[in-house]
Amino acid sequence: MRLQIRHGFEPTSTLVLTSTTSIFVDIRVLKPILPEDVEELPNKGGPARRLEWAFGGKSSSQKIGGPPIGTDNENENAETDLAPTHSIWSHWVDSKYPVAATEIPFDEGDMYPQADGRTLEHGFAFNDKAGRILSYEEMWSDVETKACYPSTSMFSIVLRVQNDAARVRGLVVRVGQFCQGILKQGNDVTVERWEFVEQLDESENVIGGEWTRKVRVGDLFLPCAATFNPKELEVGSKVSFTDYHWVVEELVEWTD
């Protein structure tokens, strides 16, 4: 389970949420580049050009030259904490490709933990602008997972909708204080990003807070708000809106 942000000389606001079962949603929104881009991040449905890329699916990692991470054979010696890993992200839904497309290019890279806590990703991927496979490097930081006041628990939640006959696929992932969703219907794509914004007193103690939408591109409905009240959810139940029936696939609670 991870919260990750991409940074460096970065033209996008990028956040990746990965659940305890390695289901992820990755949303990359372009920062303002034109005079008419009055919003720091689009939050009212458009313009669609501000969505650089969004996708979701299943991720996996293994130490380079070693067994998959999380297996009984994994070397848990602290000396291997900076050992590189190889990661693969399988795109189950992708803003750039049709629903259930089989031609989505591979997405994998080698992850090199840095002494400052960040992680350098290096790999090769298809670049749609260049029309060919190019090498790339990205720098990532993990974000601390927090409980959302007044709860003292943290949650990992996954909702999924799928109707390939109607060309519909969607994922919503909440990890701690963040929630992101992507829904694709035909050629229409909608994404949202939410964050629990804490209210602090003069001593910077948390005394309240509320879920606040930070990004919205598109016009379809996403049930992100359903994850804000996890006590009303259970694995296998559905969150329905019109013809969309989102299944609760994961609901994990923990405390520090």
Sheet holding 178-185, edge to edge: 206-217, 188-200, 178-185, 168-175, 154-163, 244-254, 238-241
Greater model confidence, 49 or 6: 49
Residue 148 lies in a domain: no
DSSP 231: G
Residue 147 lies inside a defined structural domain of this protein = no
Task: Kindly state whether residue 26 falls inside one of the protein's structural domains.
Answer: yes
Same domain, 95 and 200: no
| pLDDT interval class at 126 (50, 70, 90) | confident
pLDDT in tens, 35-85: 888 899 999 999 999 999 999 999 999 998 765 555 565 555 444 568 899
Residue 130's pLDDT is: 84
Q: What is the CATH number of the domain that holds 159?
A: 2.40.128.310
Q: Would the pTM count as exceeding 0.85?
A: yes
Domain end residue (candidates: 142, 163, 188): 142
Terminal Cα-to-Cα distance of the chain (whole angstroms)? 14
Q: Of 216, 192, 190, 183, whose CA–CA distance to 42 is shortest?
A: 216
Residue numbers of the domain that contains 86: 2-142
Question: Residues 79-118: pLDDT tens digits?
Answer: 456 889 999 999 999 999 999 999 898 899 999 999 988 9
Residue 36: predicted pLDDT: 84
The residue assigned the tokens 């969607």 is 170
Q: What is the CA angle 139-55-251, rounded to 5?
A: 95
Amino acid at 41: L
Q: Cα 7 to the chain's mean position, in Å?
A: 15
Domain count, the chain: 2
